[in-house]
Amino acid sequence: MSPLNLPASTPLRPLRTAIVVGASSGIGEALVRRLAREGYLVAAVARRRELLDELCAQVNAVCGETRARPYAHDVTDYASAPLLLKQIVQEFGALDLFVYNSGIQIPVAVDEFDFAKDLAMYETNLLGALAWLNPVAAMFQALQAGQIVGISSVAGDRGRVGAPAYNTSKAAFSAYLEALRNRLTRRGVTVTTIKPGFVDTAILRSAGAKKTFWVIDPDQAAAGIWQAIKTRRQTAYVPGQWALLMLIIRHIPSFIFRRLSF
C-alpha cells in the first residue's frame, strides 16, 4: 500500500489511474463507479466535497479497498488546475486516463440575452476545460501515451434558439478536442469526444427541457462512455442512435433550421 492506502499495481493485477473532473453527481459520479469496477484508481474531482466523500466511501466499500479519492476543486479556479494535476499524479504515481465532465446549463428565455449567464457557462464548460486539458495534453505528449476524454454534447452540433451560449460552449469544446486529437494522435495519445444526448441529470432538469426523448440514466451513459474509452474511439454519440439523428440535423438547411423551435 502507498502512504494514501492506494493498492499497488502488480503484473498479476495491473491497476490503471484516472482523473474525473466533475465527479460529484450525474455522469461523472457514474463514471467514477464504473472506472473503479473496471480496475482504475480514480481521483474524483468536483466542488462539492461532501458528495465526493460519500461517493468515494461507497466505491471503496464495494471494491473492498481504496479505489477512489476525493479532491475538492472549482474548475473556475483556473490557476489551481495544473497544481492539483501535479499533486494527484504525484500521489497516484501515474496517470493513464483524464476525463473532463464539468458542465452547467443555465436556462434562458427565448427573448433573453444575459451576459452573466453566458459567462458562467463558458467559464465552466470551456475555460475550465482548457485550464485542465492544456497541462494534461502537455504531460501526455511528453509521455507519448495516455487518453483524454471530453464530455461534450449533441447540443454543440447546431446553434439552437433555446440555448445559444450553451450550444456555443459545447461546439467550442468539441472543436478544441478535435484540435488536440490532431496534435496528439501522432504522439501516441488518444483524444475521445463524447456527445451525449438527453441524460437524466441535474443539467437536464435545470434546463427545463419540455421535449425530450431517448432519455437515459447516468449509469447507461457511463456504460456507453466506457465502451468508447475501451475501443479508443475518436468521437462517440451516447446512446449511438444520436449519431444518425445528428447527421440529419446537421444537414438541415439553415433557412429551415432557424424556424424550428428546439
Which residues are the active-site residues? Answer: 166
Q: Which residues contact 235 (CB under 8 A, 6 or more apart)?
A: 192, 193, 194, 195
Q: Which residues contact 182 (CB under 8 A, 6 or more apart)?
A: none
The residue to which cell 493513464 is assigned: 96
CB contact at 8 A, 246 and 154: yes
CB contact at 8 A, 97 and 192: no
CA distance 111 to 164: 11
CA distance 248 to 215: 19
CB contact at 8 A, 84 and 71: yes
Dihedral angle at the C-alpha atoms of 131, 136, 137, 138, nearest 10 degrees?
100
Listed residue (194, 191, 192) closest to 238, CA to CA: 194
3-class state of residue 55 by DSSP = helix
